[in-house]
Amino acid sequence: MAAVVRGMLGNDAEADDVGQETFILFYRSLDKFRGESAVATYLTRIAINQSLKALNRRRTWLSRFLAREHDDDEFGVQPAETVTGPLDEKERAVRVREALATLTPEYRAVVVLRVMEEYSTRETADMLGIAEGTVMSRLSRAMKKLEPLLGSLR
Amino acid sequence: MDDERLLRYVEGSLPRQEAEALERALADDAALAQRVGRMRSVHAALHDARADGFGAFFVARVMNRLNADEFNAAALFYDSLRWLFARAVVVGLLAIVALGAANVAEYQELQVAASWVEEAFGLPHVDMDNALALAQP
C-alpha cells in the first residue's frame, strides 16, 4: 500500500497523509468488505482512489496559481542520458519519482499498479474501473514516455 | 510484437515456449532487442524504486487520527446540528405544504379566491374595483 501511495504522490507529507486516510477508510469500511477480493487488493483499491483524489486536488490547486504551458517538462526532468556517472539508489529513486510525476494521474496509476505492484492487467483494470485494453494502451504510452527518462538508468 | 507480451517477457511471466520464440525473434531483430532492453531498464528502475513503507511511527499516527476522529466533540456537535437541521428543513417544508392545502380547501369552500395562488397563499382577493374603493378616502 505504501508503494502505491508513494508511487502516485511521491515521498512527502501528502503521501503520508493519504496513507493514513487509506487505513482509516479501510477500518471504517470493513463492514462493507464482502471478501470478494483479497484484503490487500481491497486496501490497494482504496489507496489508489485516495491518491487519485489527492492528485486531482493538487492539480486544481496548482492550476489556480500556475500557467502550465509545457506539460512535458513541468517538473524539469532531464533525460537519463544527460546524467554523468552511475546513480546511487537514492538518486535513482528520485529520478523515478520525477519521471512518474511527468505522467498524468491516470497513466501513473496504471504504471504503479501494473509494473511496480505487479498486479495483473485484469486486476489493474478492475481496480481502476477501466477495460483491460485501456490498461495496456495506457501502459504502452506511459512506458514510451518514461523510456527517454529512465531507459538508460544504470 | 505487442507490449503486453514484451512486458510479460521482461517480468519473466511469459510461458516458456512463448519466451523461447520471442528470444529467437530477438536474436534476428536488433530493433526489437533494443526495444526490449529499454523496456527492461524502465521496468527495473520502476521496480527498484518501489517504496517499502511509510516513515517511522506511521501506525501511531494512524491510531492517533482514528482516536481523535472518534472522540472529537466538535465533530460530534457539528454532526448533531446537521442531523437536527436536516429534519427541521423537512418538517418546515411539510408544514408549508399542509398550510397551503388547508388554505386551498378553505377558499374553495368559501369560493372567494380568483386564482390558485390566492388559494394556496391565503391572500385576500384584490381586483381593480375593490382596489380603487380601498384607495378612496
* Of B43-47, B67-71, B110-114, minimum mean pLDDT range: B67-71
- Closest-CA residue in chain A for B46? A116
Per-residue pLDDT for B125 more than 50? yes
Distance from CA of B104 to the nearest CA of A (A): 48
Q: Do A97 and B49 touch (CB under 8 A)?
A: yes
Q: Report the pLDDT averaged over residues A105-131.
A: 88
Whether A19 has its CB under 8 Å from any CB of chain B: the answer is: yes
Highest mean pLDDT range out of A60-64, A78-82, A129-133, B73-77? A129-133
pLDDT at residue A55, as a whole number: 87
Q: Do B46 and A136 touch (CB under 8 A)?
A: no
Q: Round to whole Å and give the CA distance between B7 and B12.
A: 8
pLDDT at residue A86, as a whole number: 64
Residue numbers in A near B8 (CB within 8 A): none
Q: Round to whole Å and give the CA distance between B100 and B93.
A: 11
**Nearest C-alpha neighbor of B47 from the set B6, B10, B91:** B10
Cα dihedral B39, A107, B1, A126, rounded to 10, equals 120
Tell how many helices (H) and how many strands (E) occur in chain B.
7, 0
Q: Do A20 and B42 touch (CB under 8 A)?
A: no
Cα B125 → chain centroid? 48
pLDDT tens-digit series, residues B14-57: 889 988 998 898 888 888 888 888 888 888 888 887 777 777 77
Per-residue pLDDT for B104 more than 50? yes
Q: Round to whole Å and give the CA distance between A142 and A128.
A: 16
Q: Do B69 and A115 touch (CB under 8 A)?
A: no
pLDDT at residue A78, as a whole number: 53
> pTM (2 decimals)?
0.64
Q: Report the pLDDT averaged over residues A105-124.
A: 88
b (16+ CB within 10 A) / e for A41-73: ebbbbbbbbbbbebbeeeeeeeeeeeeeeeeee
CB contact at 8 A, A144 and A107: no
Percentage, residues of chain A above pLDDT 70: 84
Scanning the structure block, which residue is given the C-alpha cell 546524467? A83
Distance from CA of A63 to the nearest CA of B (A): 28
Q: What share of chain A is helix, strand, coil (3-state, %, to 5)?
A: 75, 0, 25
Residue among B4, B48, B52 whose CB faces A136 most closely: B4
Q: Do B42 and A152 touch (CB under 8 A)?
A: no
- Residue bearing the bigger pLDDT, B97 or B1: B97
Q: Report the pLDDT averaged over residues B71-76.
A: 73
pLDDT tens-digit series, residues A59-109: 787 777 765 554 444 444 555 555 556 667 778 888 888 888 888 889 999
pLDDT at residue A107, as a whole number: 92
- Residue bearing the bigger pLDDT, B72 or A48: A48
pLDDT at residue A66, as a whole number: 67
Count chain A–chain B contacts defined by CB atoms under 8 A: 85
Which cell numbers hold the place of B83?
Answer: 442531523
Q: Do A147 and B39 touch (CB under 8 A)?
A: yes
pLDDT at residue B87, as a whole number: 96
Helical (H) or strand (E) element with A149: helix A132-150
pLDDT at residue A76, as a whole number: 47
Cα–Cα distances (Å) from A132 to A88, A98, A114, A125, B102, in that order, read 35, 27, 11, 5, 60
Q: Report the pLDDT averaged over residues B83-90.
A: 95
By the 10 Å C-beta count (0-12 exposed, 13-18 middle, 19+ buried), A144 is classed as middle
Q: Give B91's pLDDT tier (boundaries 50, 70, 90).
A: very high
